[in-house]
Structure 1
Amino acid sequence: MQMWKTFLANRAKGFGEFYYLGSEPLDGTGDRVDVLISELGNVRCRWYLDRKQGRLLGFDSRREEDTDECEVRLTGDFESGGVTGQRQSRFVREDNRWRRSVSRR
């Protein structure tokens, strides 16, 4: 999430590499999403954004070439103090099991 904060604060200037890859179905199915690629140091991320609203739907992050990605998907909405965000996130670990966390703001 630090890379997302860097993007929000500095846009593409905060990265060694940052570009729009194109669009693809999220996780290979469903609606197409916009895909951004960022690199900072040895961390590479693929950011998935809703094509209509520009909301962050999730990201895949990898620290080294020969390691599994950490896959994070964000679902559900909440609004608090005029700020809209995602209520629930899920991520996959190296053993391919999903875990869920719920944000309560």
Structure 2
Amino acid sequence: PETLTFKEILEILLNLINKKRLLIPFPLSLARLSAKFFELLPKPLLTEDQLRLLKYDNIASGKYKTNSDIGLPSKLYFKNEVKKYSYMWRDGGEFSTEKYNLGK
């Protein structure tokens, strides 16, 4: 199975939707402060619950067997699968005439 960092996931997604964004590391203490402010808004951009979830890795540790360990290898790859669902964030959405930029 693929092991990707959160930054790698964001970079792949941004590449697929042809968006250029600067990804800046954000200290957890500053993120907590921001979350407290954002939670006052009707649709918060960041919440304390989201930060709690981001503190934990979401990958197999090796302690337990994975599907591939029991003979069920995954034929799905993140980049190929997310491409199917990311069209809505591209300019023009599903009607975009641009081809996917898979150069990375």
TM-score normalized by the length of structure 2:
0.23
Greater helix fraction, Structure 1 or Structure 2: 2
Higher relative contact order (CA 8 A, sep 6+): 2
TM-score normalized by the length of structure 1:
0.23
The structure with the largest alpha-carbon Rg is 2
